[in-house]
Copies of this chain bind each other. A is one copy, B any other.
Amino acid sequence: MIEAPPQWSLHPQLAKDTINIGDLPLSRLLLINDANYPWLLLVPRRLGVSEMIDLDEVEQAQLWTEIARTGRALKTVTECDKLNIAALGNVVPQLHVHVIARRQGDAAWPKPVWGAVPPINHDQYEADRFIAELRRRLWLVDPAA
């Protein structure tokens, strides 16, 4: 009997901290539960990958395309002053890329967001509207639909 191969699943810590926006061809797009900043994550649906350079070349190019598409959509929707794009992963080993809209005078400005101030809850209506706008611009299907 052949066992089913292990399936990719979102790291529990990332699942806990985020809302699922939808799946791009390679990556799951998530909204971080912190209303201080419009803060997205891209998580490639590949098993056991920690570094961008661990992806094969085609997947790396696809990830870069998805980062750029997400960054453009985020910049348009938020009219932010600066994008912050980062793959750190010192705590959660599953590869994830931060795409964050920064504004002069936001809670951490001009410092990086990580650990700067305690997270605050999203207003449900604002978050729903923001997510709907991103889905529309990125041609994403609501995963709950």
Which residues of A does B touch, CB under 8 Å?
Answer: 50-53, 60-61, 64, 67-68, 71-72, 75, 82-91, 102, 109-112, 114-115
Assembled-state Cα–Cα distance A83/B82 (Å)? 23
A84 to chain B, nearest CB (A): 5
Q: How far is the CB of A87 from chain B (nearest CB, A)?
A: 5
Q: Give the contacting residue for A110; candidates B51, B68, B71, B90; CB below 8 A.
A: B90
User: Closest Cβ of chain B: how far from A48's Cβ, in Å?
Assistant: 15
CB-based contact A53/B82 at 8 Å: no
B114–A111 touching, CB < 8 Å: yes
A72 cross-chain contacts in B, Cβ below 8 A: 53
